[in-house]
Amino acid sequence: MLTTRATADGHFSDRERKWWAGLFVIAAVWNFAGAVPGFLDTSAMFAREFGRDLTDPVMVIIYRGAWGTALLYGLGFLIVARNPERHTGVVLMGGLGKAFFAFHLLYMYLNDWTSDFALVVIAGDAVFVVLFLAYFASVRRHGHTLL
């Protein structure tokens, strides 16, 4: 993990800022990798994730909306990448979204409601949750509040 010390004024060092910015760019790309195909070809993404067809038009719109939310989280992570010290609230919302989604998807997987593809999504989101917790620890170490 990143072990740089706080600067005298409480801000991230350049190295630390670049590391966190890179993390949030990667988080955005991760979200876009699911959100773009999920939003544009909702039924195909549903079939890949759950191993069944999505035919109910109401559920298509609901599932597409979930991917729209993931797309917005990705845009939020790009905003954070521009200034990681400033946008902690976006990270908190995105991190909670990832944690809740991973938890619920794991529940569905354990009940055989999803395909094995769900494990990729669960693992990826879990890794980001852990890294976001490290980010919050770093923010606190630098004397900033989380919100």
How far is residue 45's CA from residue 55's CA, in Å, rounded to a whole number? Answer: 13
- Neighbour-count burial of 85, counting CB atoms closer than 10 A to its CB (0-12 exposed, 13-18 middle, 19+ buried): middle
Q: Which two tokens stand for residue 106?
A: 């794991």
Q: What integer is the mean pLDDT of 79-96?
A: 95
6 pLDDT more than 50: no
How far is residue 64's CA from residue 72's CA, in Å, rounded to a whole number? Answer: 12
Contacts with 23 (C-beta within 8 Å, 6 or more apart), sequence order: 131, 135
Q: What is the pLDDT of residue 9?
A: 61
Q: What is the pLDDT of residue 146?
A: 73
| SS3 at position 28 | helix
Q: What is the pLDDT of residue 144?
A: 79
How far is residue 113's CA from residue 45's CA, in Å, rounded to a whole number? Answer: 15
**Rounded to 5 degrees, what are φ and ψ at 123?**
-65, -45
Distance of CA 59 to the CA centre of its chain: 23
107 residue type, one letter = Y
Domain membership of residue 146 (yes or no) is no
Q: How many structural domains comprise the chain?
A: 1
Domain membership of residue 8 (yes or no) is no
Contacts with 48 (C-beta within 8 Å, 6 or more apart), sequence order: 115, 117
Q: How confident is the model at residue 130 (pLDDT cuts 50, 70, 90)?
A: very high
Domain membership of residue 94 (yes or no) is yes
pLDDT in tens, 27-58: 999 999 999 999 999 999 999 999 999 999 99
- Higher model confidence: residue 2 or residue 54? 54
Domain membership of residue 2 (yes or no) is no
Domain membership of residue 1 (yes or no) is no
Domain membership of residue 6 (yes or no) is no
Question: What is the domain extent for residue 42?
Answer: 14-141
Q: What is the pLDDT of residue 1?
A: 46
4 pLDDT more than 50: no
Domain membership of residue 7 (yes or no) is no
